[in-house]
Amino acid sequence: AMLSGALTKVRPEGLPDDTIRIQLEGTGGQSFGAFLANGITLYLIGDANDYTGKGLSGGRIVVRPSIDFRGVATQNTIVGNTVMYGATSGESFFSGVAGERFAVRLSGATTVVEGTGDHGCEYMTGGTALILGKTGRNFAAGMSGGIAYVYDEDGQFAKRCNMAMVSLERVLPSGEQQGLGVADQWHNGQTDEAQLKKLLEDHNRWTGSKRARELLDTWAEARGKFVKVFPLEYQRALGEMHARKVALAQAASAQAAIKNEVVPAK
């Protein structure tokens, strides 16, 4: 937070991506990488505590186990509770499992993790979360915006998801989604498959994640096990934006037709 504060004083807009990269080894303390600004990457080999990435503001956080780690990332905790709380922009990659309330109030940032505890994506209002392993109970409680993609390997995710404010959808092949039209109703203006594959590639590149690599190598099968968690309020907002866009286009077309109308000579 101190580094980001000092940077903001001289460069309020931040720096180009990855201008400053700080590599660390060991355990990150409470609020590791809080409010991290544009252009700064924190690359931690080890693990981190609660509130990692709190208020992330354009920076990048990577937490991965050491190359000597012999466990299974999807079965081992690497960051604590309430990680990415209220993060507004930037991205994070965690090659392991997070504790409870992962991505609570996420508000625009992008994050990838390989499993979560209870109450994941609680009160999320924007951004993108990708979970590559099992979640705890009460996922998506109060979620009103953004999208979460969950790898539902055991087919039981629906039982662990709070369905009061979200729907669960399949991740369609890009060609099939494009065939349905209405591209302006896509999250981030991209197909779900395209976003998923890019996030997996980025996660593998930054953390060396075996899970991400396995999913990419078996994509034809893996895609069918991903679930898209789509907030009902976000669906409504996208629909209204699309309707306004159509109405404006129709009005512009009608005005153009009137201007081009030939007035008969008297």
CB 90 within 8 A of CB 120: no
Please report where in the chains the tokens 């662990």 appear, as a residue: 160
The CATH number of whichever domain residue 36 belongs to comes to 2.160.20.60
Say if strands 57-64 and 40-48 run parallel, antiparallel, or are unpaired: parallel
Rounded to 5 degrees, φ, ψ at 175 are -60, -40
Is 118 within a domain?
Answer: yes
Is 76 within a domain?
Answer: yes
Is 22 within a domain?
Answer: yes
pLDDT at 264: 63
Per-position DSSP letters for 114-163, written without gaps between them? S---TTTTTT-EEEEEEE-S---SSBTTT--EEEEEEE-TTS-HHHHB-T
Is 266 within a domain?
Answer: no
Q: Which domain holds residue 144?
A: 2-259
d(CA 157, CA 177): 23
What six digits make up the tokens of 264?
């008969």
pLDDT block averages, 10 residues each, the chain of length 266 = 82 89 97 96 98 98 94 96 99 99 99 99 99 98 99 97 98 95 88 98 98 98 98 95 86 84 62
Is 217 within a domain?
Answer: yes
Query: 125 has which bridge partners?
Result: 145
pTM score, whole prediction: 0.92
Angle, CA 246 vertex, CA 240 and CA 250 arms, to 5°:
145
Selection from 152, 107, 145, 146 nearest residue 131 by Cα: 152
Q: What is the mean pLDDT of the chain?
A: 94
Sheet holding 40-48, edge to edge: 20-28, 40-48, 57-64, 89-94, 107-113, 125-131, 145-151, 226-231, 166-170
Domain count, the chain: 1
Is 264 within a domain?
Answer: no
d(CA 203, CA 198): 8
Is 215 within a domain?
Answer: yes
| Secondary structure, 3-state, 21-88 | EEEEEEEECCCCCCCCECCEEEEEEEEECCCCCCCCEEEEEEEECCCCCCCCHHHCECECCCCCCCCC
Is 265 within a domain?
Answer: no
pLDDT at 201: 99
